[in-house]
Structure 1
Amino acid sequence: MLSELSSVTNTAIFDNPLTTYWTDAWQRSILFLDVMRRRGAQYEEQAARTAPHVLDYEAELLCDGRSFARPVNYALVRIVPPPGVAIDGRKRPFVVVDPRAGHGPGIGGFKADSEIGVAMKAGHACYFVGFLPEPVPGQTIEDIIHAQAMFLEMVIARHLEADGKPCVIGNCQAGWAVMMLASLRPDLFGPIIIAGTPLSYWAGVKGQYPMRYSGGLLGGSWLTALTGDLGAGKFDGAWLVQNFENQNPANTLWSKQYNLYSRIDTEAERYLGFERWWGGHVTLNAEEMQFIVDELFIGNKLACGQISTSTGTAIDLRNIRSPILIFCSKGDNITPPQQALDWILDLYDSVDEIRSLGQTIIYTVHETIGHLGIFVSAGVARKEHDEFASNIDLIDVLPPGLYEAILEPRGEAVEHPELVTGQWVMRCEARTLDDIRALGGNEIEDEHRFAAAAQLSDINLSCYRIFAQPFVRAAVTPQGAEAMRQLHPLRLSYEMFSPRNPLLAWVEGEAELVRKNRRTVEADNPFLIFQEQMSRQILDGLDGWRKISERLAEATFRVVYGAAPLQAALGIDPASRRPPRKALKNHLSSTLLETRIAALKAKIMQGGLLEGLARSLIFVALARGRADERGFEAIRRIRQSHDGAGRLTLAEFKTLIREQYFILLIDEPAALGAIPALLPADIDERRKAFELLREILDSSGALQEAASERLERVAELFSLDREGVDSNPVVSPASKAARVRSVS
């Protein structure tokens, strides 16, 4: 009967809208079941592998963390460039660290348009830090951080000729681990890119992002300890995936499956590719997960410098010396912009404090993309990640401060399009802490509520450990824990559609017959239109349920943890206007800063033409309040046009720019007054140097009034009158190279 229905011909009885729709719907159902069967087979295949991953590239194992003195289930691999991709040994390598948040490794490079793909396209060697499904018994988060330090040391040793330390990308949960390591070993890092990474876990906006209330509503982290004990010392990552899916029931319960069913002829391969990663559930040691929940999710201690290593070393994000690029989205309900950015407000009182510590922080906020799209979307890879990879050296040499990265389409309106490497123009505009506050955040009363939840969590966890944990551990066996893991609802959803299910034995053959006799329905079929309308109604209903649940969760959290008696009992002072968790100031840093200022003041009169040009460039650029990739590309091309030994390396150029920037900040009048003494006596050499300076400035577009006035001031310092300087110089490559030789 099934075969007969699948092979119907275009007879009159089947030409009416109902039968046409019914035939198409039945065939879609068969093909849908076949995709579910293939998904189950794919799940079993991945589970049978010792080191499963979803990388779309050939990988060469370089180091297995299980061989370390403190073994971990992490490994470092080199991504083998595909045919046609040329790697430039002078460019810094990229290291992508994958998130261990319940899924398997490989998401940073599971297709060509990915973080790894765009980095290799830009000529960078790529490495990948992944993990095995099972943790090494006894491994801790600190062990993993130490292992990643050794991985980076190995990458650096392989690229001694590269122009800069590795760029490290941390996706989601990998981001906070990368930041912790960078605070402990700042010498290992070039620019750091953290994508969709929560660092300030209490932050958010009233009426949005309810996931941050989960820990308090569940009574704290005692449930994490119970889950680890029921797993015989292992925490099942499938629960983390389940928590993620619970945030969007409309997608989890309906739209993901419906989109596959309604687009079954074109959607199958994309769906299976994603599910190959989504269903690769892994486990963590119970101690690892307890640290994450207690110290980060509920404790919110990382942003406030309240986490220490086993040796007592404080993990202070203010110790990071590499540029930090933060990529987040307003459409991300897992890591909203507040959780990605508000750690800056926790650590610093002003942008001047960021500058005084020599830190460079750049952020970019996407308007709509969801959490996974930040590091899996092909569109994001071709835009944001492509621009980050192409302009990583610009990011590295930016003067200290806070910036927002703005991406604009490249078009005919863009001046000097020949200096743009991709389809977008990236510029970094100076920002203040008020720009981050403008995104929204907690009131002081909200901070007190979260502090109360953290205190109650500690109490409940202690009670569980004293009164219940010994009995739970005694009752659980490794075999029973494994059986519970296999019976997790998410795993069962894959197992029940696997080829081992005898009830699905007929599906493969029937699906092949359907594909041979496929009859699709027209888009204007009234029954298909009704189907789409019903789907939208279901989505609206599930979304309405989500909104009601979120409002109820938020209201419950605010009422319970906002109660004055509970806060008083937990030691929270409701009248205090100081945030309960605020990073303390380091007095040693103040002393070191004073010493550094004195050393820089002594250098105001030191240097030559190169220092004078750099100081003049920064002075004019500060009036613009932004840095543009076209200006940096102009500098790069000018540097490359000269083969002399005096050419600065990127590290030397970065040191020069930062030193002259700080000199201007410390004493601008004295710094400007010293410029004539740094310049050569010959007026022609000064004129050539000035023309080179203006060429770099003009590459980013015409100067506005304030910047133009500053350029005139520089012309006076160069002893050049306004009439003697051509406003639109045309410079040949030969003369450009000659000028570089004179500067070098």
Structure 2
Amino acid sequence: MPSPYSPATASVRTLAAAEVATTQMQRVALSFSHHVERFARDHGRRMQELIADGAALTRAFGHAAGNGIADQAKEYAVDAGQRLALTFDVLRERAENDAAHEAAGTPPVLIYDHEVAVDGKTLARPVNYVLLKILAPEGVVTYDWKRPYMIIDPRAGHGAGIGGFKQDSQVGVALRDGHPVYFVVFRPHPEPSQTLADVMRAEAEFVAEIARRHPQAPKPIIVGNCQGGWATLVLAAANPDITGPLVINGAPVAYWSGRLGENPMRYNGGLLGGILPALLLSDLGGGEFDGVHLVSNFELLNPGRNYFGKYFDLYSDPEKSRASFLEFERWWGGFHFMNEQEIRWIVEQLFVGNRLSRGEARIERGRQLDLKAIRSPIIVFASRGDNITPPQQALNWIVDTYADEHEIRIRGQRIVYMVHDKVGHLGIFVSSSIAKKEHAEVASTMKTIEALAPGLYEMTIDEQFGEGVDARFRVSFHERKLSDILAIDDNDRSEERGFAAVARLSELGAELYDLTLRPWVQAITADEVAKAMRSAHPARVQRAAFAHDNPLTRELRNAADRARAERVPAAPDNPFLEWEKLWAKSVTQAFDVWRDLRDTAYEMTFLSLWGSPQADAIANSHAFQRTRRDPKELRYLPDVQAILLGIERGAFEEAVIRMLILLAQSRGAVRRDRLERSAKVLTRDEPFASLGAERRAALIREQSIIVEFEPERAIATLAQLLPEHERGRAMEVVDFIAGAIEEMEPNTIKMLQRMREALGLPPIALPDTGRDPLQETEAARDVA
């Protein structure tokens, strides 16, 4: 064996470094080409639109030149001045709302009446989290026996309530369907010494309280939005026996993931110093990290919208936009805080360390979190239009957690994901249109998802029937492989090795800071200094500048009153209004040009620094993946072998479930109407209704493993599970769930025929899909 210091070894290392350098140059070139291509495409198109709009505007002014253009200019000037006064008045009102909201303790922005179910301050380990029971509005009835919802809002700088600050929202969808709804909120400041382990335990207490209040209902559905999504996964991984299905909306879990030429936010850790800024800001904040820093990062992702666009929209029509602007800004400006321990865990374990996705996160000393431990079905909602949580960050944890899709099935897990094409990050849990369609369909899916065979699925909304409130959709679940998720990321995650180098140096930087500068920073930071720093943050200053105690804005109310009294809007065809819109489009594009150039520089700098041979060597200790079992070895797991030994044992329940799983595998997709029929049979009809949820789930897992590893024997041994007099009834149940034969795929018909042959039944005939044979059996017994 050659010595690590021998010339041969040195030569190998030199070749390896040269290969890394070559890969780095190729990656930088590819990144640059992506940015240039997108820049040219997007801004070229927008520049052409500006030129066309400018030409149209020139023609409009030419036409108006001889038709009273001076009067139109005067009309526009009056209108513009009045709109400016009204806009300033709305900003003044926003500042007063902020002050009132903060004085009231920054309560959640929920529009629904609610009552406190559990106050986290009263728990053995106090936290600033509170469980609210949402009170159904007039005309809406909820039922205690229906599965409750618990919605966890993101704690990412803002306050709580964004998941329910509109009628058409996650809360509204669940209430209208009759479900009791609970909402997890948090106060602005954490309790002293509060940790995220304490928060997780508090959320587990919340789930236990919901179970106590609804003893006849199934385990609650847990909905996690954004940062609340990973909190939901942590809760379920640490307490796998207490939760029902999980809905994870726009939640970043695989933080290193993304696509070259996109997703610049993931580079912040490598360019801004890893965890060090969070520790320093926490110390300068008197032990608390100010959420305003996170909000500012979000705003910088789209400066054209956040620093100009939303204000221009308000200015364009202040009367119409006032209410919605103030409603949203009440939440956007409700800055909240975290303890140093909390933000440190988030940055070390998630933002920079990416440990939860890789199975290395520890919620507290000695307690490791493994997402494989989760037994509840999981629905993941992501969007290609989300620049905060791109689909790769929302989905790649699945690839990192499981060996392949076969392991998901073997473990009895159901993971369903849905990728929207356009909606932005906040739109995932704020948009009314998303609530009416995607969230409504997810809510409907929750009733049936536990009847789905274990596996990985993509949920698609294929067709719409009807319009408006009467709209209905055809939803399908398509079996997917882990390679389908990787394809969203172009199948290449090699640049993630650079993030491992960042994680290692971030840990070293934190250690050096802890041992050297930290005691001095903490010693010189008095409470007055921390308060002054908070007040001086630009995000707070630009809002507070319009407060009533500013002498420059004391006349804003009077000016707005005069504008309202004398309001004379300009005519819609006034060419100066078109000039105003053209100017706004050009300003927005200027912001976007700057943003795109900045993002290009961000990515190029990161790849240049952290893709180098030196950084690659630094990454060695942290660029690991969790141990992956070879899929072929899964067959030899002890519980799998035990299940396969029982392939010939069972009864009516095992036979029907096995046949349904065989059908699902033959199709490769399941329509929700079939899933609904399956759920009805497996939960309401005897003998399945008496099984109970846990035994039913165990049977589905066992039969899934049998079909996975022994599909031929699974068919051949069906007759051994069913006495001859029960075979026809079992087949009728399967036919009822399968639906009309004219809607079946050829493979489905072939599988039905093979099962009939195995049971010694006549060839397949057109089934009567309108009758449930088990229900008819129960009715006949009742008559007798």
Same fold (TM > 0.5): yes
TM-score, length-scaled by structure 1? 0.91
Aligned residue in 1 for 2:560? 511
The Cα shift of 1:228 comes to 0.6
- Give the equivalent residue in structure 1 for 2:744: 703
Paired amino acid for 2:138: P
Q: Pick the aligned partner of 1:668 from 693, 700, 711.
A: 711
Q: Which residue does 2:589 correspond to in 1?
A: 540
Residue of structure 2 equivalent to 1:694: 735
Distance of aligned partners of 1:540 and 1:640 in 2 relative to their CA distance in 1, 3 Å threshold? same
Q: Which residue of structure 2 lines up, in the alignment, with residue 185 of structure 1?
A: 239
**Any idea what the Cα deviations from partners look like across 1:52-106, whole Å, max 9, x if unmatched?**
1101111110111111221111111111111111213332110001111110111
Q: Residue deviations 1:172-194, cap 9 Å, x none?
A: 11111211121111011111111
Shift of 1:445: 4.5
Aligned AA (1:696): I
CA distance in 2, matches of 1:493, 1:674: 73
Alignment correspondent of 1:114: 169
2:78 equivalent among 12, 23, 33: 23
SS in 1 for 2:488: coil
Mapped partners of 2:283, 2:633: distance in 1: 46
Distance 1:131 1:707, change over 3 A: same
Query: 8 Å contact 2:288–2:338 — kept in the other structure?
Result: yes
CA contact (8 A) 1:323 1:395 kept: yes
Q: CA-to-partner distance for each residue in 1:199-249, whole Å, 9 max, x for gaps?
A: 111111111001111111112211111101110101110011001101111
1:105 aligns with 2:130: no
Distance in 2 (CA, whole Å) between partners of 1:385 and 1:216 is 35
1:682-723 Cα deviation digits (max 9, x unpaired): 3xx64454333222111697111111111111222332222x
Instruction: Map 1:351-430; keep pairs closer than 5 Å.
Output: 351-411=405-465, 423-430=472-479
Amino acid across the alignment from 1:630: D
Per the TM alignment, residue 424 of structure 1 is displaced from its structure 2 partner at its CA by: 1.9
User: Aligned pair 1:142/2:197, yes or no?
Assistant: yes
Distance in structure 1 (CA, Å) of the matches to 2:292 and 2:704: 49
Q: Report the alpha carbon displacement of residue 347 of structure 1 after superposing the two structures with TM.
A: 1.9
3-state DSSP of counterpart to 2:415: strand
Partners of 1:427 and 1:626 within 8 A in 2: yes
Deviates more, 1:622-631 or 1:530-539: 622-631
The 8 Å contact of residues 64 and 75 in structure 1, kept in 2 or not, is answered as yes
Of the candidates 161, 172, 177, which is equivalent to residue 216 of structure 2?
161
Correspondences of 1:477-626 after superposition (within 5 Å) = 477-568=526-617, 570=618, 572=620, 580-585=623-628, 594-626=637-669
Q: Which position in structure 2 is the counterpart of 1:729? A: 768
1:738 corresponding residue in structure 2: 776
Pick from 322, 325, 336 the counterpart of residue 282 of structure 1: 336
Structure 1: runs of 5+ lacking an equivalent: 1-11, 414-419, 574-578
Contact 2:264–2:602 (Cα < 8 Å) also in 1: yes
Which residue identity does 2:549 align to in structure 1?
R
Aligned residue in 1 for 2:35: none
Q: Name the residue aligned to 1:446.
A: 495
**Does the Cα contact within 8 Å between 2:197 and 2:363 map onto a contact in 1?**
yes
Q: Distance in 1 between matches of 2:452 and 2:740?
A: 17
Is residue 628 from structure 1 mapped to residue 662 from structure 2 by the alignment? no
Conserved 8 A contact 2:414-2:456: yes
Structure 1 residue 112: Cα displacement:
1.0
CA deviation string 1:356-398 (max 9, x = no partner): 2222211111111111111111111111111111220222332
Question: Mean Cα displacement is larger for which, 12-21 or 612-621?
Answer: 12-21
Name 1:68's counterpart in structure 2: 123
- What is the aligned partner in structure 1 of residue 256 from structure 2? 202
Instruction: State the distance in 2 between where 1:265 and 1:593 align.
Output: 69
Structure 1 counterpart of 2:517, which letter?
A
Between stretches 225-234 and 357-366, larger displacement belongs to: 357-366
* Residues 95 and 166 in structure 1, CA contact (< 8 A), matched pair in contact too: yes
Question: Aligned equivalents of 2:210 and 2:600: distance in 1?
Answer: 48
Q: Deviations over 1:397-417 (max 9, x none)?
A: 32221111111233289xxxx
* Change over 3 Å in CA distance of 1:591–1:373 after alignment to 2: closer
- Deviation track 1:464-487 (CA, whole Å, cap 9, x = no partner) reads 222321211111101210121112
TM-score, with normalisation over the residues of structure 2?
Answer: 0.86
- Rounded to whole Å, the distance in 1 between the matches of 2:471 and 2:242 is 29
2-side partners of 1:701 and 1:190: how far apart?
36
Q: Is the 8 A contact 1:323 1:361 kept in 2?
A: yes
Task: Name which of structure 1's ranges 593-602 and 541-550 shifts more when overlaid on structure 2.
Answer: 593-602
Q: Which moved more, 1:175-184 or 1:241-250?
A: 175-184
Q: How far is the alpha carbon of 1:444 from its aligned partner?
A: 5.7
Contact 2:161-2:185 at 8 Å conserved across structures:
yes
2:103 equivalent to 1:48: yes
Structure 2 vs 1, CA of residues 633 and 68 (structure 1 numbering), >3 Å: closer, same or farther? same
Assess if the C-alpha contact under 8 Å between 2:196 and 2:363 holds in 1: no
RMSD of aligned residue pairs (Cα, Å): 2.8
Go from structure 1 to structure 2 and tell me whether the alpha carbon gap of 1:640 and 1:74 turns closer, same or farther (over 3 Å shift): closer
**CA gap 1:571/1:645 in 2 versus in 1, 3 angstroms:** closer
Paired position in structure 2 for 1:659: 702
Residue 9 of structure 1 is matched in structure 2 by none
Rounded Cα–Cα distance in structure 2 between residues aligned with 1:714 and 1:571: 54
Q: Which of 605-614 and 354-363 deviates more?
A: 605-614
Other-structure match for 1:3:
none
Structure 1: how far apart are the matches of 2:696 and 2:470? 21
- Paired residues of 2:402 and 2:628 also in contact (CA < 8 A): no
CA distance in structure 2 between the partners assigned to 1:279 and 1:52 by the alignment:
12
Structure 1 pair 307/56, CA: closer, same or farther in 2 (3 Å)?
A: same
- Taking the aligned partners of 1:486 and 1:437, their CA distance within structure 2 comes to 45
Q: Give the deviation of 1:107 after TM superposition.
A: 0.8
Does the Cα contact within 8 Å between 1:204 and 1:441 map onto a contact in 2?
no
Preserved contact between residue 457 and residue 480 of structure 2 (Cα < 8 Å): yes
User: Structure 1: how far apart are the matches of 2:310 and 2:291?
Assistant: 21
Per-residue Cα deviation, 1:479-537 (whole angstroms, up to 9, x for no partner): 21012111211111221112332332322233234334432223321111111111111
Deviations, residues 271-315 of structure 1 (Å, cap 9, x unaligned): 111001000001111121111111211111111111224341211
The alpha carbon displacement at 1:632 in A equals 2.5
Name the CA shift for 1:565/1:672 in 2 (closer, same or farther; >3 Å): closer
After alignment, is 194-203 or 647-656 more displaced?
647-656
- The farther-off stretch of 134-143 and 15-24 is 15-24
Could you tell me which runs of 5 or more consecutive residues in structure 2 were left unpaired when the two chains were aligned.
1-66
What is the CA distance between 1:448 and its match in structure 2? Answer: 2.3
SS of the residue 2:159 aligns to: coil
CA contact under 8 A between 1:170 and 1:178: conserved in structure 2?
yes
Which residue matches 2:325?
271
SS at 1:429 equivalent: strand
Moved more, 120-129 or 445-454: 445-454
Per-residue displacement from partner, 1:429-470 (whole Å, max 9, x unpaired)? 100011011111584641221111112212222222223212
Q: Counterpart amino acid of 1:279? A: G
Secondary structure of 1:186's counterpart equals coil
Q: Secondary structure at the match of 2:549?
A: coil
Q: Give matches, 1:641-656, under 5 Å.
A: 649-656=692-699
Alignment partners' CA distance in 1, 2:612 and 2:688? 70
Change (3 A) 1:92 1:332: same
